[in-house]
Amino acid sequence: MSIKGTCIASSEDEFGPIYVYQTRSSRVLSFDGHVEQSCMNLNNPVQLMHQYTQAMMAGLMFVPEIKSATIMGLGAGSLAKSLLQHFDELMVYAVEYRQEVINTAKQFFHLPEDKRLQLSICDAIKYMKKPAAKSDIIFSDLYNSHGMEPRQIQLSYLKNCKKSLNKNGVLVLNFWYQDFESSHEIEDLLSLEFGEEILSFPVEGGNTIVLAFKNKIPTLKRKELLKLSEQLQQQTDIPVSRYAKRIWAQQQFKFAEKL
């Protein structure tokens, strides 16, 4: 199925083509002309259009005083723009393998020149061995024209991500559900590094979002979790509360005090 809209730009590098499509209200980045990598609302360029990117922001509920964030896989810069817009004091480190993707994000998707945004052209796996700085939260969204980058679930990568988090940091991963038999398979893989300190929830469209905690999942009651989600929702204009409710309904036992 081809992407709707008119192709307004295309380029190519050693890794393949890059397409930009446009409709009356949106602009889309694609690597193959069939799957949307990123989508931007032309009337509100910082709005997160895909539900899985909105859901990834739920990890911020558990980082009350966020100062630094790392994005593995820039795409068109949707997450970076949203973070910069809603968190004035936040430093964002974004890692992208392809210079041409960065060029496209700047030219067609309003990726800003901002002193709070540090871009690195690097293989994500290599970068995480020696990151520019430790982060309060890491968003890992490694995809190409063939689907999810399989190294996103390598133990060495997960271990380096964990090392690169601050004391109460959270690793947020976006998985394409169809690559796994079930969400339990994802948790089994991640538990080898993060133990039981993992929350996961499905998102419409087939994605599964995983929150992996460097240390303990906070001890919270339902009312407290929903309050955190409502505060974040008000700040970002993202429907975070629906994801908080989904997490609680499926994994409330993980918020209990550990004996």
Question: Structural domain tally of the chain?
Answer: 1
Q: Is residue 255 domain-resident?
A: no
* pLDDT tens profile 137-191: 999 988 765 666 667 778 899 999 999 999 999 999 988 755 555 556 777 888 9
Query: Residue 206 has what pLDDT?
Result: 80
Strand partners, 211: 172, 199
Can you tell me the mean pLDDT for 8-28?
96
Instruction: Note down the domain range covering 93.
Output: 46-250
Q: Is residue 24 domain-resident?
A: no
Q: Is residue 117 domain-resident?
A: yes
Q: Is 80 exceeded by the pLDDT of residue 18?
A: yes
* Chain mean pLDDT for the chain: 91
- Output the CA–CA distances (angstroms, integers) from residue 111 to 83, 89, 98, 217, 243, in the order listed: 12, 18, 15, 33, 27
Query: Residue 177 has what pLDDT?
Result: 54
Query: Residue 179 has what pLDDT?
Result: 54
CA–CA dist 34, 63 (Å, integer) = 36
Contact 215, 168 (CB under 8 A): yes
Q: Is 80 exceeded by the pLDDT of residue 88?
A: yes
In the chain, the percentage of residues whose pLDDT exceeds 70 is 92
* pLDDT tens profile 106-123: 999 999 999 999 999 999
- The length of the chain is 259
CA–CA dist 219, 236 (Å, integer) = 24
> Quick one: three-class SS letters along the chain?
CCCCCEEEEEEEECCEEEEEEECCCEEEEECCCCCEEEEEECCECCCCCCHHHHHHHHHHHHCCCCCEEEEECCCCCHHHHHHHHHCCCCEEEEEECCHHHHHHHHHHCCCCCCCCEEEEECCHHHHCCCCCCCEEEEEECCEECCEECHHHHCHHHHHHHHHCEEEEEEEEEEEEHHHCCCHHHHHHHHHHHHCCCEEEEEECCCEEEEEEECCCCCCCCHHHHHHHHHHHHHHHCCCHHHHHHHHHHHHHHHHCCCC
Can you tell me the mean pLDDT for 31-36?
89
Q: Is residue 27 domain-resident?
A: no
CATH number, domain at 223?
3.40.50.150
Q: Is residue 13 domain-resident?
A: no
Q: Is residue 31 domain-resident?
A: no
* Residues with Cβ within 8 Å of residue 186, at least 6 apart in sequence: 153, 175, 180, 200, 208, 210
Q: Is residue 37 domain-resident?
A: no
* pLDDT tens profile 197-246: 999 998 987 888 999 999 999 999 999 999 999 999 999 999 999 999 99
Q: Is residue 53 domain-resident?
A: yes
